[in-house]
């Protein structure tokens, strides 16, 4: 059976013990926690949902259904950006970004470039850039690559 995403429907933090003894807190109103659908957890979930304090749905790992799109002028001094694309998953995935650079031999991470935009610098001249978007939730993770942009020009 799939994991269960339990959403806190009250302003009081919702805590659930799982069969492995771990304690997970969904936090304040709207918080979500993912638990295994084993018998002890099932009984605890039933108690919370019967009092109206929580709702539940089947958890699902993130999946990218529409690829991220990078865009912008590729000249040193310009800024390129990426749209995240479309993601599914329960609970809603948290998206993170990682820009990469390539000289045609493969892709390398650009250290510290984890925003949805990237300022192009002279080090990138002649190379392509792209962004890897990762969606993560309590049920798993998925990654998707944007289209490459480049090669970056010096603007001279």
Q: Where are the alpha helices (DSSP H) in 51-147?
A: none
Where among 13, 41, 58 does a domain terminate? 58
156 within domain boundaries: no
- CA–CA separation, 152 and 135 (whole Å): 28
Domain count, the chain: 2
pLDDT tens digit sequence for 30-80 = 888 787 777 666 666 666 666 667 778 899 999 999 999 999 999 999 999
Q: Are residues 88 and 44 in the same domain?
A: no
pLDDT score recorded for residue 101:
98
Q: Is the pLDDT of residue 124 over 80?
A: yes
- CA–CA separation, 72 and 82 (whole Å): 9
Q: Are residues 71 and 35 in the same domain?
A: no
Q: Are residues 69 and 112 in the same domain?
A: yes
Q: How many CB atoms lie within 10 A of CB 138?
A: 19
* Token pair belonging to 99: 């820009």
Helix or strand or coil: residue 27? strand
Instruction: Assign 139 a pLDDT band (cuts: 50, 70, 90).
Output: very high
């Amino acid at each position: 059976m799939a994991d269960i995403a339990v959403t806190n429907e009250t302003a009081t933090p919702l805590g659930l013990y799982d069969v492995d003894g771990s304690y997970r807190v969904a936090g304040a109103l709207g918080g979500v926690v993912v638990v295994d659908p084993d018998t002890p957890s099932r009984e605890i979930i039933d108690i919370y949902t019967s009092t109206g304090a929580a709702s539940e749905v089947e958890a699902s790992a993130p999946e990218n259904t529409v690829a991220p799109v990078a865009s912008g002028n590729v000249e040193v001094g310009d800024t390129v950006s990426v749209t995240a694309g479309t993601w599914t998953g329960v609970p809603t995935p948290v998206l993170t970004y990682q820009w990469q650079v390539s000289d045609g031999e493969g892709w390398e991470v650009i250290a510290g470039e984890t925003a949805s935009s990237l300022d192009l610098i002279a080090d990138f001249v002649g190379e392509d850039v792209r962004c890897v978007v990762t969606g993560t939730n309590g049920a798993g993770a998925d990654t998707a690559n944007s289209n490459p942009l480049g090669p970056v020009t010096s603007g001279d």
